[in-house]
Structure 1
Amino acid sequence: MKTKSFLEAADVDRILDAAVAEASANSWAVTVAIVDDGGHLLALRRLDGCAPMGALISVEKARSSAIGRRETKGYEDMINNGRTAFLTAPAYGFLEGGVPIVVDGNVVGAVGVSGVKSDQDAQVAKAGIAAL
């Protein structure tokens, strides 16, 4: 049996604080969601000025990234390149901005961000993860 890493509360706080700092440094009103490896919500912070829809979208981006074990940009690219049938898959976060948290080669969770351009959402998510 293998030993599995997991996110602790202090890890989640560190990721969330770094992601919020990146968004704030760029004056971006976003929502940041962090999930565990099963896509279960661990933290959510909606910054002032972010539309309420950002809370829903950020969670779905994080969930899709965690359970799919990849960045959600890959799904968006696949759909944009013509594989529209993928839109019928039983998930909803197929826009860039969901990034898996990988520790020792294993996905332990993901960060999803929504509120600005998709590449900027991903930038905020990656800044949060880099704090680990």
Structure 2
Amino acid sequence: MTYNEALNALNRAKAKANELEIPVTIAVVDLGGHLLALARLDSVYGVVDFAIKKAKTAIMFGVDSETMGTIISHAEVHGYGMLNSNGGLFTVAGGVIIKDETGKIIGAIASSGGTPEQDKEIALAGAHF
């Protein structure tokens, strides 16, 4: 994922957040889970780490953060290890993978600051090419 692709995804998600009038933080990561772009909208505090961790969770497992939460809830002790690996994961709705025009996974985007459903809607707006 290039920086420009990340910025475009971020801008699409910001537009959706502004349309919904929800102050959120949005994070975009590359295939390695490294932060490429971040926006903390006005009046939102304390959720920067949540957005980054949701995006990392999605890219690490190739599924959205909400789906990973369902998987981990059935994993017992292994779920604990998964949640606490790699600096911690966050398995609440709002982190989704980004695919290019050919369907190849190139990164992930996440939103945090709204309800889980709102965060997912905002992230999905950013993920669509």
TM range (shorter): 0.7 to 0.9
TM-superposed CA distance for 1:87, in Å, is 2.9
1:12 counterpart = 2:9: no
List gaps (5 residues or longer) in structure 1: 1-6
In 1, distance between residues paired with 2:80 and 2:16?
31
Corresponding residue number in structure 1 for 2:41: 47
In 2, distance between residues paired with 1:57 and 1:74?
16
In 2, distance between residues paired with 1:34 and 1:11?
10
Aligned residue type for 1:14: N
Q: Which deviations, in whole Å up to 9, do the C-alpha atoms of 1:46-87 show, x marking residues without a partner?
A: 001112x2100000000111111111111222345x544313
Pick aligned residue for 2:58 from 53, 65, 74 = 65
Aligned residue type for 2:127: I
1:76 counterpart = 2:69: yes
Pick aligned residue for 1:99 from 96, 101, 105 = 96
TM-score when scaled to structure 1? 0.85
Q: Alignment partner of 2:26: what SS?
A: strand
Q: Alignment partner of 1:78: what SS?
A: helix
> Are the equivalent residues in 1 in contact too, given 2:27–2:38 (CA < 8 A)?
yes
Q: Structure 2 matches for 1:106-125, cutoff 5 A?
A: 106-125=104-123
In 1, distance between residues paired with 2:105 and 2:62?
6
Aligned residue type for 1:73: E
In 2, distance between residues paired with 1:112 and 1:84?
25
For these two proteins, the number of residue pairs brought into alignment is 123
Runs of 4+ in 1 over 6 A off after TM superposition: none
In 2, distance between residues paired with 1:73 and 1:34?
17
In 2, distance between residues paired with 1:61 and 1:84?
20
